[in-house]
Amino acid sequence: MSDQDQTRPGTPQTLPTETRSAQPAGPASVVPPSQITRPDDSLLTYYFLVSLLSLVAFPIVFVPLLIRFKTMRYSFDESGVSMCWGFFFRREIYLTYGRLQDIHVTRNLLERWMGLAKLPIQTASGSSDATMRLEGIRHPEALRDFLYQRMRGARDDAEADGDQNGDATTLLREIRDELRQFRQTSGVSP
């Protein structure tokens, strides 16, 4: 394939892994949730339409949303999920799967029409608002199920650690009881 073929409109091109969006390659294929690194490209269209509603203030509303879209990144690793965005003021959020409490799928009318959704993720913090909001997700049910599965796996691991701590607690209680018995038989006061 020549250089001209690669730049011609309509020629299929592969994206690097770091720019893979939530949009599937075809109608039947779905990007595995753990490989989503960016919001779906139609989120930019959504931001544009929402900004149009501000009429005269369109540039003031659209430019921050454009920067947010261009810089938004997601990462799902073995221990948690992270999200970062921003150019002038960079924000990063990292949540371990064990801290996740609740995951919702929310869509307004325009997002449903465009096939997009938001996933607000809540933790056990004192705030009633979501700790992290994954935006521009094309197949939110698959991602929600993936996060719930990871969340349950982290809790199962914590419970297994709790069982090991239970053994240690039992051993400490036995030692305590033996020391009390020894003190009583030897006549030593506590």
Q: How far is it, in rounded angstroms, from Cα 58 to Cα 151? A: 40
pLDDT at 11: 38
Tell me phi and psi for residue 111, to 5 degrees: -65, -40
CA 125 to chain centre: 16
pLDDT in tens, 55-86: 999 999 999 999 999 999 999 999 999 999 99
pLDDT in tens, 46-55: 999 999 999 9
Q: For residues 167 and 174, which has the higher predicted lDDT (pLDDT)? A: 174
> In terms of C-beta density within 10 A (0-12 exposed, 13-18 middle, 19 or more buried), how is residue 48 classed?
middle
pLDDT in tens, 89-113: 999 999 999 889 999 999 999 999 9
Is the pLDDT at 20 greater than 60? The verdict is no
Q: How far is it, in rounded angstroms, from Cα 64 to Cα 149? A: 34
Q: Beta partners for 118? A: 106
pLDDT band (50, 70, 90) for residue 171: confident
pLDDT at 185: 85
